[in-house]
Amino acid sequence: MKVLFPRTSGNSMTGVLLNTAGGITGGDRFDINAHARTDCHLILTTQAAERAYRAQPGETGRVSTRLTVDEGARIDWLPQETLLYDHSALDRQLTIDMADTARFVMCEPVVFGRVAMGETVARGAFRDRVDLYRGGRLLFADRTRLDGQIAETLRGLATAKDCAAMASVLLAAPDADRFLAPAQALMPATGGVSLIRTGLLFARLLATDSFELRRTLQPLIQLLSGDQIPRTWMI
Amino acid sequence: MATGARIPMIMATGMPMPIDPAPLLTLAQWLSPAYPVGAFSYSHGLEWAVEVGEIHDGPSFQAWLEQILIHGAGRTDAILLAEAWRAPDDQSCHDIDDLARALAPSRERALETEQQGQSFARVTADVWSLPLPAYTYPVAVGWAARMLNLPLPETVLLYTHAFAANLTSASIRLVPLGQTEGQTILAALAPLCADLAADVQTLTVEDLGSACMMADVASMKHETQYSRLFQS
């Protein structure tokens, strides 16, 4: 794993994560740590879609990310799509530890199978955990668990209505409330957004493929993170 | 998946009742629709799914509820309840409650679990003289059951069944379904409640996880639904 820093302006820095291994296979282990100190702004994205390849039985790729955001600081966590191949096994944990006056923007898109090639994730294992602490207290947690016959599970009315792409989008900031109405205006039929509590805005989106998903995500990220959207998210 | 009957409970053996009826009667009281937690006012996003026509008859409602029991809040709540029941002390139970609150994916789902939990805690604390904080609903039920030494599998069984029954009542009103059709669906899904009651014996917070993304979206969309009977 490498980080490139192509752009710095004022207190803002963009870091582009580059997985030199070209993807994640079963048994891989990645740990990412980033810390934005007081009043700094760090934008993190990835150079390409992250691929979770077919895993050997009993092996699971693990990605653990820890982000720390100090008083008045801000992190935008905007990786490109994570692409799950058929028979992949991926276990991810994202932990955010932010100060009360900090700002955190997250967009985590996941795509099930190489849709353009007609591939689905017939079988696989995907665990995704997000824990966000603000002022030391657990404010938001999300747990996604897809095991076994993933394509079959995703077919349901309550699960994904056969959508092959999904995203979780989060804004934790003192002024998050004012983004609710404009974010609602961007939602497609298969996406929703809610101000769960004051200062905490969460959106869940589904789409037939990553192209459709990006059509919603791009303006949504633009809205939530302002004009400093990483180049990887421009369309 | 729906194997059912894995929990040895009261069997129709013709023998005298083999267990103490008091714990079951307490659970029956807590998890009856008459217990004042306001369950009837929450649809868990069902009202939106009906509004847009995704749920429009018995089979579509049954599929939706089945997924929520297996992959969604049915399973999540069962695990949270069990972990509260097993919590070694007040602080551990507080931590589970923090997690339960944090897991709410939308404002109305937070309201659903917080308000029912608060109402449950208030009545139960008064009637049974328990020091029961205003926890989220599954955590409050789990912790109260533990304080009264009520058995965990039966608590999860009746809690999950009450959740399924409440959504069935909502679908009878909303879709609408006939009473008989609604009860037929609930009877068909009852074995899933039994499965959960058995499964939670070995499941912990590490096993939490949902695949019911559309149900979350429905609860978010419900916030702006023009005409609505339910609070979620």
- Cβ of B67 within 8 Å of Cβ of A131? The answer is no
Secondary structure (3-state) at A146? strand
What region, left, alpha or beta, does residue B14 occupy, with left being phi > 0 and alpha being psi -120 to 50 degrees? left
Question: Measured between beta carbons, which residues in chain A are less than 8 angstroms from residue B223?
Answer: 194
Statement: residue A86 has pLDDT above 60:
yes
HSE (CB half, 13 Å, CA atoms) of B226?
A: 2
Angle at B7 between CA B3 and CA B12, to 5 degrees: 100
CB proximity A153 to B under 8 Å = yes
Distance to chain B for A126, nearest Cα, Å = 10
Question: Measured between beta carbons, which residues in chain B are less than 8 angstroms from residue A142?
Answer: 103, 105
Question: Measured between beta carbons, which residues in chain A are less than 8 angstroms from residue B104?
Answer: 196
Q: What is the pLDDT of residues A177-233, one digit of tens each?
A: 999 999 999 999 999 999 999 999 999 999 999 999 999 999 999 999 986 788 888
pLDDT value at residue A175: 97
Distance to chain A for B14, nearest Cα, Å = 41
B196, B160 contact by CB (below 8 A):
yes
pLDDT value at residue A65: 98
Quick one: CA dihedral B221, B223, B228, B232, positive or negative? positive
Residue B37: closest CA among B101, B107, B97, B115:
B115
The B-side interface with A (CB below 8 A) comprises: 49, 52, 54-55, 60, 63-65, 67-68, 71-72, 76, 98-99, 102-108, 110, 207-221, 223-224
Q: What is the pLDDT of residues A138-160, one digit of tens each?
A: 999 999 999 999 999 999 999 99
Per-residue confidence band for A10, with pLDDT thresholds at 50, 70 and 90: confident
Give the residue ranges of DSSP H helices in A1-135: none
Strands A82-84 and A103-112: parallel
CB proximity A53 to B under 8 Å = no
HSE (CB half, 13 Å, CA atoms) of A51?
A: 11
Q: Return the structure tokens found at A159.
A: 């699960």
pLDDT (average), residues A56-78: 96
pLDDT value at residue B2: 45
- Cβ of B211 within 8 Å of Cβ of A144? The answer is yes
Domain ranges of chain A: 2-234
B213 vs A129, A131, A206: nearest CB:
A206
Smallest CA–CA distance from B66 into chain A, residue: A158
Q: Centre a 10 Å sphere on the Cβ of residue B107 and count the other Cβ atoms it contains.
A: 20
B161, B182 contact by CB (below 8 A):
no
CB proximity A141 to B under 8 Å = yes
- Cβ of A194 within 8 Å of Cβ of B209? The answer is no
pLDDT (average), residues A44-69: 95
pLDDT value at residue B113: 98
Distance to chain B for A97, nearest Cα, Å = 14
- Cis bond leading into B105, ω under 30°? no
A166 vs B102, B213, B221: nearest CB:
B213
pLDDT value at residue B14: 58
- Cβ of A142 within 8 Å of Cβ of B99? The answer is no
Q: How far apart are the first and last CA of chain B?
A: 28
- Cβ of B209 within 8 Å of Cβ of A144? The answer is yes
ipTM score over 0.95, yes or no: yes
Tens digits of pLDDT across chain B (232 residues): 444 445 545 555 556 666 789 999 999 999 999 999 999 999 999 999 999 999 999 999 999 999 999 999 999 999 999 999 999 999 999 999 999 999 999 999 999 999 999 999 999 999 999 999 999 999 999 999 999 999 999 999 999 999 999 999 999 999 999 999 999 999 999 999 999 999 999 999 999 999 999 999 999 999 999 999 999 9
Question: Measured between beta carbons, which residues in chain A are less than 8 angstroms from residue B225?
Answer: none
Distance to chain A for B21, nearest Cα, Å = 37
**How long is chain A?**
235
Using the structure block, give the residue that is written with the tokens 């069990």. Answer: B82
Per-residue confidence band for A6, with pLDDT thresholds at 50, 70 and 90: confident
Letter for the amino acid at B150? L
